[in-house]
Every structure is written in C-alpha cells, then in structure tokens.
Amino acid sequence: MSTPKQTVLLIGGTGAQGVPIVKALIPGDSYNETSLHSAFEGIDIAFVNLNGFAIGEKAEIYWGIRIFELAREHRVQHFIWGSLASSYKASGYQARFRTGHFDGKAKVADWISAQEIGERGMRWSVLTSCMYLETFAEMLAPAHETIDGGEVVVFKAPVGGGTPPFIYLEDLGKYARWMIENPQRSSGLNLRIATANVGWEEVARSFTEVTGKKAIFRDLSLDEYFASGIFGPADRKVGHSVGHDDDTLQTYRENFSGFWNTWREDVLKRTEKDFELMDEILPERVSSVGEWMRLTGYNGEKSNVLKDYADAGGKKPQ
C-alpha cells in the first residue's frame, strides 16, 4: 500500500546513527537557530540526534528543547528524539554513574515526555538507543596478541561481567522507520531498543564460533583503560565544538568513568518486556551478537563507524 509523500528533516544524518536512518528514509539539513527556521519550513517529520560530544551536556539540553519548540512552531507533525537513558537518574543519582552524554539526552527526553500531544501539541516519540554493535569494529575493536606462541584475539574493556545493551545500526534505522509509519502506536512512546544485552565473555565466545579464531576477554581497570590513550589526554573536556572554559563540561575521564561504571554494574539493561515489544515491531530483528557477527562478516578488523572519530583521525575529537 503506498503512503502519501511526506518530508523528513534528519539532524545528525551524516553520523553512524543517522546514516542508516537516511538510508531508510531521505536526507535533510543541519542546525542553528537561523538555519533551523528555514530547515523546518515545510517539514512533516523530524528525527533529531544531537551530538553531545560536539556540544556538551548543557548545550545539548538547550538545543534539544529549543529544536523541539522550533519544530512545533513550524507545525512539524511528528518529532522523534534520538535518546539515551540516564544511569545517573536510574541509580537514584549516584555520582559514579554520571555520564554527560547520557544525561543531556535523557533530560530532554523527560522534558519532551511532559509535552502535550493532540490539538495543542505535536506528536512526539523517543527512540532510546544504546552502544552500537559496530563499535566492536572501532573503539572496542580487539587486539591481536601472541599468547603461548599462538595468535589470540583479545577483547578488552573495563566492564567485568556487565552485560550492557547493544544495537545493530541497521535495525535502529528500521525502528525509526516503524515510528514514522505507525504514528498511532509510536506517539507518546519511549521505545527502548537493543539487539541484546551483551557480555564480553559472550563476545569472545561468539567470535570464536563465527571465525574459528581463538578469542578471550580481558577485563581492564579504569586506569588501564584511560592509559591506553583511547581518548588522548583523558583530562581534557568533552565538547569538541565549544569553548572549554565551562565548568559544566565533564572531562573524558569523568564522562567515561560514569559510562563504564554503568555497564560494569548493569545499571541500564533492556528488560524482557522491552524485547517482547521489539520482537513484535521487528520480528526479523537481529537478536544476538553472534548473529550480528555472522550477518555482517565481522572479523575483528577496524573500520570507520563514528564520523567524529574518523574526522579526528581515529581518536575522540579534541
């Protein structure tokens, strides 16, 4: 059955999360107050994934709310917020889980969730995602080490036995498409998506099953993780596109300590109920890390996933 033609504005459309949504829909434009006014002209549907690493938590909260307001001003019919859950809030505000790039998006999601839908308001949905499985080919790519004379693929992370949710990006695009095509069901819904809750022992085991290569998981302390240089100097501030004379910006060490504490202690997980809804929406969804490895031909080699990361030459941008 053909659907009437509609126009979609997609912010963050050149990024890892945006590209599969663009593929599933159509391309759009970027933002700031002036360009947003012209970008929203004639737009029916907006999917908005702001870049907290570029602008920091404070600006993400402001722009998330402001972009929603501008969308409504321009009579956008359906606003979809690309979100992340807050472990800081979910833990009852325990400091060791504070993660700016979660909390900015989550605060905007809470604010959006208080907005009226109907005659006076705009239809909204929240798409709460999680780490991309594709990250195993980039920031979480394994090392190749010689152990007892044999080559071993070593997956390393400061995660212990934690099993955080991961999402296959192509499925993320399909969930966004479902929201647009099923407004009666997606309106007012915060859809918490994931392929599965994934532990690193399972990652190593699945890798061996799929590739036949020996693989292990090695747990790291946070000090070992930051000493690996993954973020360059970990004491610089998050927010590569804004001035750093701002005390509200976390450092990479602070932000990613909260991030890994969250996963190590399993503060944010998808529930049976979440997976039941996902099975109903996308029965063909990829549902395990092993299935994802098989489907995509994952071999542990590095490839480009995050635009920011590639733009900065393989490090989190300055």
Ligand X SMILES: NC(=O)c1ccc[n+]([C@@H]2O[C@H](COP(=O)([O-])OP(=O)(O)OC[C@H]3O[C@@H](n4cnc5c(N)ncnc54)[C@H](OP(=O)(O)O)[C@@H]3O)[C@@H](O)[C@H]2O)c1
Binding site for ligand X (CB under 6 A): 12, 14-18, 30, 49-55, 84, 101, 129, 131-132, 135, 241, 306-308
The whole-angstrom separation of Cα 42 and Cα 51 is: 24
Indicate left, alpha or beta for 226 from its phi (over 0: left) and psi (-120 to 50: alpha).
alpha
CA-wise closest residue to 86 among 24, 128, 51: 128
Question: Min. distance of Cβ 52 from ligand X in angstroms?
Answer: 4
| CB closer to ligand X out of 132 and 207 | 132
Here the tokens at position 91 are 């833990």
Nearer residue to ligand X within complex by CB, 207 or 309 = 309
> For ligand X, which is the closer residue by CB, 32 or 184?
32
**Long-range Cβ contacts of 59-66 (<8 Å, 24+ apart):** 59/239, 59/242, 60/101, 60/104, 60/105, 60/108, 61/104, 61/107, 61/108, 63/31, 64/104, 64/105, 64/107, 64/108, 64/111, 64/112, 65/108, 65/111, 66/33
Smaller CB separation from ligand X, 216 or 309? 309
- Nearer residue to ligand X within complex by CB, 86 or 129: 129
In the complex, minimum distance from the CB of residue 299 to ligand X, in angstroms, rounded to a whole number: 20
**CA–CA gap between residue 22 and residue 17 (Å, rounded):** 9
CB 245 to ligand X: min, Å = 17
Nearer to ligand X, 43 or 216 (CB): 43
Alpha-carbon span 252 to 236, nearest angstrom: 6
8 Å CB contact between 302 and 137: yes
Residue nearest to ligand X (CB): 15
173's tokens: 């695009």
Shortest CB 34 distance to ligand X, Å:
14
Q: How far is the CB of 272 from ligand X (least distance, A)?
A: 22
The least distance separating ligand X from the CB of residue 83, rounded to whole angstroms, comes to: 8
